[in-house]
C-alpha cells in the first residue's frame, strides 16, 4: 500500500519519496477541460500548483476545447512562469481538441495521461491545497474504484432569496454526508469533481459524446451514465468529504432562467440515457400519432400555467415554488422534444453508420448484409425502394453523415414504372440530406443487349451511377465499361470474393452426367448458361464447338467432348436456329427453359457445376459484356473458365483458372476450347478456405467498411 503523505506547504522542503507500487508515472492525472474561460482555467491551475501533495505524484492536463479567447497561449505562458519559479518537478501539459464536446476533450486527455487515477475537475472550480492529499488517503484506505469529492459553492454575487437549498445541487453542490461513505445507488459521481481508476475507465469506456456537454446540448448527465456503468461492472463508488473543491457561481447563474434551462436540458439528457440503456425504444410517428402524443404534454403545461401558478400566487407561497412550477414545465417540454427527436432519428451511435442495402434477387447480397451486421452496424435491406421517411430520419446529424445507401446492381432491380420514376429524385434528396449513396456494378445482360427493355434498364442504371458518391467494381478495367458521355463518380476496384458454399455442394460427376442424360464415358463437358447470352452468341459457340470436333475428327456423342447448353437465349423465348443446329450434332445437349435472361434455379446450379469441366462464356467484342460473378462461382469449384478478353474477365481470375480468347475471331474461341480440354487445375486447401463465402465475404466486408467510414467522414 502507498504510504500517506503528510500535509505540508508546497514552499517547504521536499518530502521523502513514497514507495511506488502502481508502476511508472504519477499517481494522479488531473484533467481540466475548458472553453473560452481563460481566467477561470488559469485559476484552477494555480490552485493545483499550491497542492501539498508532491508534484512527482500528480500531473495536470488542460484541454482547450476550441477556445477563441487565446486560452491556450495564456496557459502556456503561465506554465512557463511556474516552471521558472518552481524547484520541484511541476508536471503540466496543454493540448487543443477542436471537436466540440466535453467527452472528446476528456478522451484526448486520457490518451496522454500517465497516471494511475484520472481526476476530472471543471474549469470553474478551485481545489483546496490538501485536495489531492486527502484523495490519495481515501483511495488507500477505502479500496474504492471511483471517488467523488466534496463540492462547496463560492457566490460571486448575492444569493437570491428564492434560491432554496434543495436547488443547490443544480449549481454543483455535493455534500451527501459528513464522513466518508460508499455512495448509495441513488447518488452518482459529481460532474464538477470526480476521479476514476484508469483500469476501470479502460474496462467500461467513456460516456457517449451525445450525453456530454457541448454547444447545442448543455447537459451534465454524462457522469450519471458513467456511474451507472461502473456500478453495473461491480466497481465501488465512494464519497470523500475531505477532498474539497469550490465551485464558482457567477451572477449569470443566479437567475431563474438558468434553472429553467437546466431543467429542460436535464430532462432531454435523462431521455437520452434511457434510450442508450435500451429502456426506451424508438419508433416512427405518423402525424396522427404525433398529435396524440403532443396533447398530454400540452395539457400538463397549460394546467400549470392556468391553474397551478395562479394558485401559488394567490396563496402567497414562497417564490421558489413558482420557480419549481416553471421548471416542471421546462422538464415536460424537454422530455417530449427529446422523445420526438429519438423517434424521428434515433442515432444511437454515430461512430457506426446505418446502411440500407437495395438489391435484386442475388443471394450473395444477403451474405454481405449478414457480414455487415456482424460488425455491429445497423443494417437493413430492401428489394424495392428507399422511403422518404427513412431518409429524413437518417439525415445529417450535427454536421456528420450517419447513414449510407448501397444499391447492388441497379439494373437488376425489379421496379415498376412509377417506382423507377421516383427512385432518382429520392437519391438526389438523400444526398441533399447528407445520406451517402454508393452502388455496386457487377455487370448484367442489360449492358450488352439491344432489346428495348435492356436499353431502358441500362439507361436507368447509368443515371443511378451518376447520382452516387462512389461505385464499386469487380474489375480493375472499369474505365472501359461505360460510355464516355456519362458522368461517373469515384470508382473503387474491390476483387470479387469467392462463392464456394453459397449454393448446395455440386453433385458427384457421374451422378450429374446420369441425371442430364450424358454418356457416362464423356471425356470433357463444356457448359454454357444460355440465358446469360443472346441467340447470336449461343449459335457462335455451337458453331465453334462443331468446328473443333470436325478439325480433330471427333465422333461426339459417345466418349468425346460434350456441349451442355442450359436455358434459352435471353433475347429469344424459343430459338429455332439453336434447336436446328443442336439437332445436327449429337454432342450438343439442350436443356431449355424460359428466356428473357431468367436466373438459373438454385437447384440446377449444383447439377451444372457437377457435370461441367469448363464454363464457356461466348460474348462478342462488347466492352460492357459479361458477368464476372458466374466465372467466380465456377472458379471456386476448380472449373476452367473460357471467357473473352473483355474488361469484365481480364485480370479477374488467376491464369490457371481462366483461358481468355479474342472475341472478334471464331478461330480464337475454337483454339480456346481445344486448350480447355488439355487444361486442368486443382485448388489447394488454403485456396478453398479463402474462396468460401464466409471467409471471402468477411474480408470483402472489411474493405467495404473502410470506404464507408471514409465517405461518411468526408475524407474521400
Q: Which tens digits make up the pLDDT trace of 689-704?
A: 999 988 998 899 889 9
Helix (H, G, I), strand (E, B) or coil at 352: coil
Whether residue 543 has pLDDT greater than 90: yes
| CATH code, domain carrying 158 | 3.90.550.10
Residue 558 lies in a domain: yes
Residue 498 lies in a domain: no
- Least trusted range by pLDDT, from 333-347, 406-420, 670-684: 333-347
The residues, ordered by sequence, that sit 6+ positions from 328 with a Cβ below 8 Å of its Cβ are: 263, 304
> Residue 416: its pLDDT value, please?
83
User: What whole-number distance in Å separates Cα of residue 681 and Cα of residue 690?
Assistant: 16
Q: Are 668 and 534 contained in the same domain?
A: yes
Report the pLDDT averaged over residues 479-490: 67
> Residue 601: its pLDDT value, please?
65
Whether residue 282 has pLDDT greater than 90: no
Q: Are 241 and 319 contained in the same domain?
A: no
The residues, ordered by sequence, that sit 6+ positions from 154 with a Cβ below 8 Å of its Cβ are: 126, 246, 247, 248, 249
User: What whole-number distance in Å separates Cα of residue 387 and Cα of residue 284?
Assistant: 13
Percent of the chain with pLDDT over 90: 33
Q: Say if CB 649 and CB 615 are below 8 A apart.
A: no
Q: Are 538 and 678 contained in the same domain?
A: yes
Residue 290 lies in a domain: yes
> Residue 12: its pLDDT value, please?
30
> Residue 380: its pLDDT value, please?
65
> Residue 283: its pLDDT value, please?
46
Other Cβ atoms closer than 10 A to 3: 11
Judged on CB neighbours under 10 Å (0-12, 13-18, 19+), 674 is: middle
Other Cβ atoms closer than 10 A to 490: 12
Q: Are 58 and 160 contained in the same domain?
A: yes
pLDDT bin (cut points 50, 70, 90) of residue 14 is: very low
Report the pLDDT averaged over residues 227-241: 91
Which residue in 610, 609, 611 sits closest to 631, CA to CA? 609
User: What whole-number distance in Å separates Cα of residue 607 and Cα of residue 610?
Assistant: 5
Q: Are 189 and 57 contained in the same domain?
A: yes
Q: Mean pLDDT of all residues in the chain? A: 82
Question: 330-346: string of b/e by CB count within 10 Å (b at 16+)?
Answer: bbbbbbbebbbbbbbbb
Residue 311 lies in a domain: yes
* Residue reference for cell 421546462: 330
Indicate the residue among 344, 370, 404 that finishes a domain: 344
> Residue 591: its pLDDT value, please?
85
Q: Are 614 and 468 contained in the same domain?
A: no
Distances (CA, A) of 609 to 364, 407, 566, 590: 18, 29, 12, 16
Percentages (nearest 5) of helix, strand, coil residues in the chain: 45, 15, 40
Q: Are 339 and 359 contained in the same domain?
A: no
Whether residue 101 has pLDDT greater than 70: yes
Q: Are 315 and 244 contained in the same domain?
A: no
Q: How is residue 609 written as a grid cell?
A: 457445376
User: What whole-number distance in Å separates Cα of residue 225 and Cα of residue 274?
Assistant: 10
Report the pLDDT averaged over residues 170-184: 92
Q: Which helix (H) or strand (E) holds 271?
A: helix 256-276
The model's pLDDT over 330-377, given as tens digits with 9 standing for 90+, comes to 888 888 877 776 665 544 455 567 888 888 877 778 888 888 877 756
User: What are φ and ψ of residue 54, in 5° steps?
Assistant: -55, 145
Whether residue 38 has pLDDT greater than 70: yes
> Residue 119: its pLDDT value, please?
95
pLDDT bin (cut points 50, 70, 90) of residue 45 is: very high
pLDDT bin (cut points 50, 70, 90) of residue 66 is: confident
The residues, ordered by sequence, that sit 6+ positions from 302 with a Cβ below 8 Å of its Cβ are: none
Helices (H), 565-641: 576-583, 604-611, 628-635
Indicate the residue among 229, 253, 277 that finishes a domain: 253
Q: Are 582 and 670 contained in the same domain?
A: yes
Report the pLDDT averaged over residues 234-241: 94
Helices (H), 433-472: 452-466
Q: Say if CB 424 and CB 468 are below 8 A apart.
A: no
User: What are φ and ψ of residue 643, in 5° steps?
Assistant: -135, 155
User: What whole-number distance in Å separates Cα of residue 529 and Cα of residue 371?
Assistant: 29
Q: Are strands 28-34 and 58-64 parallel, antiparallel or unpaired?
A: parallel
> Residue 221: its pLDDT value, please?
66
> Residue 15: its pLDDT value, please?
38
Question: 379-413: string of b/e by CB count within 10 Å (b at 16+)?
Answer: bebeeebbeeebbebbbeeeeebbbbbbbbbbbbb
Q: Say if CB 94 and CB 79 are below 8 A apart.
A: yes
Q: How is residue 624 written as a grid cell?
A: 460492357
User: What whole-number distance in Å separates Cα of residue 403 and Cα of residue 101?
Assistant: 22
pTM here?
A: 0.57
| CATH code, domain carrying 447 | 3.40.50.2000
Indicate the residue among 253, 284, 316 that finishes a domain: 253
Q: How is residue 243 written as a grid cell?
A: 477532498
Q: Say if CB 10 and CB 51 are below 8 A apart.
A: yes
User: What are φ and ψ of residue 397, in 5° steps?
Assistant: -115, 115
> Residue 3: its pLDDT value, please?
32
Q: Are 318 and 301 contained in the same domain?
A: yes
Is the alpha carbon torsion for 238, 242, 245, 247 positive or negative?
A: positive
> Residue 599: its pLDDT value, please?
58
> Residue 582: its pLDDT value, please?
87
Q: How is residue 31 written as a grid cell?
A: 484533467
DSSP 517-574: T--TT-S-EEEEEGGGS-HHHHHHHHHHHHHHHHHTT---SSSS-EEEEES--TT-SS
> Residue 593: its pLDDT value, please?
66
The model's pLDDT over 592-610, given as tens digits with 9 standing for 90+, comes to 764 444 456 667 888 999 9
More confident residue, 305 or 654: 654
First to last CA, the chain: 53
The residues, ordered by sequence, that sit 6+ positions from 111 with a Cβ below 8 Å of its Cβ are: none
Domain that holds residue 358: 354-493
Which residue in 385, 394, 384, 383 sits closest to 355, CA to CA? 394
Q: Which helix (H) or strand (E) holds 678?
A: helix 666-678
- Domain count across the chain: 4
Q: Say if CB 393 and CB 340 are below 8 A apart.
A: no
Q: Say if CB 196 and CB 146 are below 8 A apart.
A: yes
Is the alpha carbon torsion for 576, 577, 583, 588 positive or negative?
A: negative
Whether residue 422 has pLDDT greater than 80: yes
Residue 284 lies in a domain: yes
Q: Are 424 and 460 contained in the same domain?
A: yes
Report the pLDDT averaged over residues 284-296: 60
> Residue 196: its pLDDT value, please?
94
| Longest pairwise C-alpha distance within the chain | 116
**DSSP assignment, residue 214?**
B
> Residue 159: its pLDDT value, please?
92
Judged on CB neighbours under 10 Å (0-12, 13-18, 19+), 167 is: middle
Residue 666 lies in a domain: yes
* Residue reference for cell 455487370: 443
Judged on CB neighbours under 10 Å (0-12, 13-18, 19+), 315 is: exposed
Whether residue 537 has pLDDT greater than 60: yes
Which residue in 306, 317, 332 sits closest to 162, CA to CA? 317
Q: How is residue 365 written as a grid cell?
A: 447480397
Which residue in 62, 63, 54 sits closest to 26, CA to CA? 54
Distances (CA, A) of 150 to 26, 189, 190, 220: 23, 11, 9, 17
Residue 702 lies in a domain: no
* Residue reference for cell 392556468: 306
**DSSP assignment, residue 50?**
T
* Residue reference for cell 436535464: 266
User: What whole-number distance in Å separates Cα of residue 532 and Cα of residue 527?
Assistant: 12
More confident residue, 84 or 59: 59
Percent of the chain with pLDDT over 70: 84
DSSP 331-343: HHHHHHHHHHHHH
Residue 334 lies in a domain: yes
* Residue reference for cell 432554496: 164
Report the pLDDT averaged over residues 59-78: 89
Q: Are 633 and 572 contained in the same domain?
A: yes
> Residue 116: its pLDDT value, please?
93
The model's pLDDT over 369-409, given as tens digits with 9 standing for 90+, comes to 888 877 756 676 666 677 777 787 788 876 788 889 999 98
Amino acid at each position: 500500500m502507498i504510504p500517506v503523505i503528510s500535509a505540508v506547504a508546497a514552499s517547504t522542503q521536499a518530502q521523502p519519496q513514497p514507495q511506488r507500487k502502481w508502476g511508472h508515472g504519477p499517481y494522479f492525472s488531473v484533467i481540466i477541460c475548458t472553453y473560452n474561460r481563460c481566467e477561470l482555467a488559469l485559476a484552477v491551475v494555480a490552485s493545483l500548483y499550491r497542492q501539498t501533495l508532491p508534484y512527482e505524484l500528480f500531473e495536470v492536463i488542460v484541454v482547450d476545447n476550441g477556445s477563441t479567447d487565446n486560452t491556450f497561449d495564456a496557459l502556456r505562458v503561465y506554465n512557463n512562469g511556474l516552471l521558472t519559479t518552481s524547484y520541484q518537478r511541476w508536471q503540466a501539459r496543454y493540448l487543443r481538441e477542436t471537436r466540440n464536446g466535453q467527452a472528446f476533450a476528456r478522451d484526448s486527455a486520457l490518451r496522454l495521461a500517465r497516471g494511475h487515477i484520472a481526476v476530472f475537475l471543471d474549469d470553474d472550480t478551485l481545489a483546496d491545497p490538501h485536495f489531492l492529499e486527502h484523495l490519495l488517503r481515501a483511495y488507500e484506505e477505502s479500496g474504492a474504484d471511483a471517488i467523488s469529492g466534496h463540492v462547496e459553492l463560492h457566490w460571486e454575487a448575492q444569493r437570491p432569496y428564492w434560491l432554496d437549498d434543495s436547488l443547490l445541487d443544480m449549481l454543483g453542490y455535493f455534500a451527501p454526508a459528513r464522513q466518508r461513505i460508499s455512495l448509495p445507488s441513488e447518488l452518482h459521481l459529481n460532474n464538477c469533481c470526480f476521479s476514476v481508476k484508469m483500469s476501470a475507465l479502460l474496462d467500461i469506456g467513456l460516456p457517449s459524446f451525445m450525453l456530454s456537454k457541448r454547444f447545442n446540448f448543455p447537459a451534465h448527465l454524462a457522469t450519471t451514465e458513467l456511474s451507472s456503468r461502473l456500478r453495473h461492472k461491480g466497481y465501488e463508488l465512494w464519497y470523500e468529504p475531505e477532498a474539497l473543491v469550490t465551485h464558482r457561481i457567477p451572477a449569470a447563474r443566479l437567475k431563474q432562467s438558468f434553472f429553467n434551462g437546466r431543467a429542460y436540458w436535464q430532462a432531454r439528457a435523462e431521455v437520452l440515457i434511457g434510450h442508450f440503456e435500451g429502456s426506451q425504444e424508438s419508433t416512427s410517428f405518423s402525424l396522427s400519432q404525433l398529435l396524440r402524443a403532443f396533447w398530454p404534454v400540452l395539457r400538463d403545461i397549460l394546467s400549470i400555467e392556468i391553474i397551478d401558478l395562479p394558485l401559488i400566487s394567490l396563496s402567497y407561497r414562497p417564490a421558489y415554488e413558482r420557480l419549481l412550477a416553471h421548471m416542471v414545465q421546462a422538464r415536460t417540454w424537454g422530455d417530449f422534444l427529446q422523445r420526438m427527436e429519438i423517434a424521428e432519428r434515433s442515432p444511437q451511435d454515430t461512430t457506426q453508420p446505418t446502411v440500407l442495402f437495395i438489391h435484386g434477387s442475388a443471394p450473395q447480397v444477403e451474405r454481405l448484409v449478414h457480414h455487415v451486421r456482424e460488425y455491429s452496424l445497423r443494417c437493413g435491406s430492401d428489394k424495392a425502394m428507399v422511403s422518404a421517411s427513412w431518409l429524413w430520419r437518417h439525415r445529417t446529424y450535427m454536421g456528420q453523415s450517419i447513414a449510407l445507401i448501397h444499391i447492388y446492381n441497379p439494373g437488376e432491380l425489379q421496379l415498376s414504372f412509377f417506382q423507377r420514376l421516383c427512385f432518382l429524385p429520392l437519391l438526389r434528396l438523400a444526398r441533399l440530406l447528407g445520406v451517402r449513396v454508393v452502388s455496386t456494378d457487377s455487370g448484367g445482360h442489360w449492358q450488352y443487349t439491344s432489346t428495348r427493355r435492356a436499353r431502358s434498364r441500362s439507361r436507368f442504371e447509368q443515371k443511378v451511377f451518376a447520382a452516387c458518391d462512389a461505385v464499386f467494381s469487380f474489375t480493375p478495367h472499369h474505365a472501359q465499361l461505360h460510355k464516355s458521355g456519362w458522368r461517373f463518380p469515384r470508382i473503387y476496384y474491390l476483387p470479387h470474393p469467392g462463392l464456394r458454399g453459397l449454393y448446395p455442394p455440386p453433385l458427384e460427376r457421374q451422378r450429374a452426367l446420369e441425371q442430364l442424360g450424358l454418356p457416362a464415358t464423356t471425356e470433357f463437358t463444356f457448359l454454357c448458361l444460355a440465358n446469360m447470352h443472346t441467340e447470336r452468341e449461343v449459335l457462335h459457340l455451337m458453331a465453334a464447338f462443331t468446328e473443333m470436333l470436325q478439325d480433330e475428327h471427333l465422333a461426339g456423342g459417345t466418349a468425346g467432348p460434350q456441349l451442355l447448353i442450359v436455358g434459352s437465349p435471353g433475347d429469344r423465348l424459343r430459338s429455332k436456329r439453336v434447336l436446328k443446329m443442336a439437332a445436327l450434332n449429337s454432342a450438343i445437349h439442350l436443356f431449355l427453359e424460359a428466356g428473357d435472361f431468367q436466373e438459373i434455379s438454385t437447384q440446377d446450379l449444383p447439377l451444372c457445376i457437377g457435370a461441367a469441366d469448363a464454363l464457356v462464356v461466348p460474348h462478342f467484342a462488347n466492352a460492357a459484356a459479361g458477368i464476372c460473378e458466374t466465372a467466380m462461382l465456377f472458379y471456386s469449384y476448380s472449373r476452367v473458365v473460357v471467357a473473352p478478353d473483355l474488361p469484365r474477365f481480364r485480370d479477374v481470375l488467376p491464369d490457371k483458372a481462366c483461358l481468355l480468347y479474342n472475341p472478334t475471331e471464331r478461330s480464337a474461341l475454337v483454339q480456346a476450347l481445344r486448350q480447355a480440354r488439355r487444361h486442368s487445375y486443382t485448388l489447394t486447401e488454403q485456396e478453398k478456405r479463402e474462396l468460401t463465402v464466409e471467409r471471402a465475404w468477411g474480408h470483402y466486408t472489411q474493405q467495404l467498411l473502410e470506404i464507408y467510414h471514409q465517405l461518411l467522414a468526408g475524407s474521400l
